[in-house]
Each structure stands twice: as C-alpha cells, then as structure tokens.
C-alpha cells in the first residue's frame, strides 16, 4: 500500500493551496432552508484563547483558498464545533 501511494503521490493534496483547480461545482454545498420554517439563532459560543486562535487560522486558510466565504445572516447563527484530531491539531 505504501509503495502504491508513493507511486501516485502527485494525486494527493496535503493542504488547501495544492487544490487550486478543484471545481467548486463538484463539492458545492448549499443550505436547504425551508421558507416557512423559522431559523434558530444559537447563542454565540465562547472558546479558550488558544482554541480561538486555531479556529481563526483555519478559517482564514479556507477563505484565502476560496473554499468558504463570509456571509451575513442576522436571522440565525450556527456555532462552529472544534475537536482535537489524532495528530493533536484542532
């Protein structure tokens, strides 16, 4: 398996910058919001400063690569849910 991955290493992207030609139409997500349902606005969740810094770094990376964009939805808020991965990164 390792030899196979090594042979085709060029097909893998290890960070966001290595995916500039990714077609957004393939992986585009939309929120299917029903017009007759009232949105739920969660209270803004507070995070420890170290977690907040990690969240900001990741969000800015995603914005710079064009994977996400900032939207203004004053009617509802869904909080981010950070978690610790096996490599100890958030």
DSSP 69-80: -----TT-B---
In this predicted structure, what is the pLDDT of residue 29? 72
Tell whether the model's pLDDT for residue 87 goes beyond 70. Answer: yes
Backbone angles phi, psi at 77, to 5 degrees: -140, 130
Q: Express each pLDDT in 18-75 by its tens digit.
A: 776 667 677 677 777 788 888 777 788 889 998 899 889 988 888 887 778 777 766 6
pTM assigned to the model: 0.57
CA atoms within 13 A on the CB side of 44: 4
Domain ranges of the chain: 2-64
If one compares 66 and 82, the residue with the highest pLDDT of the two is: 82
């Amino acid at each position: 398996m390792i030899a196979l991955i090594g042979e085709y290493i060029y097909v893998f992207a290890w960070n966001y910058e290595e995916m500039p030609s990714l077609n957004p139409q393939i992986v585009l997500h939309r929120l299917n919001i029903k017009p007759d349902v009232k949105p739920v606005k969660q209270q803004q969740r507070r995070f420890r400063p170290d977690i907040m810094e990690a969240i900001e770094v990741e969000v800015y990376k995603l914005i710079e690569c064009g994977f996400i964009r900032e939207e203004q939805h004053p009617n509802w808020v869904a909080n981010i849910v950070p978690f610790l991965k096996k490599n100890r990164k958030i």
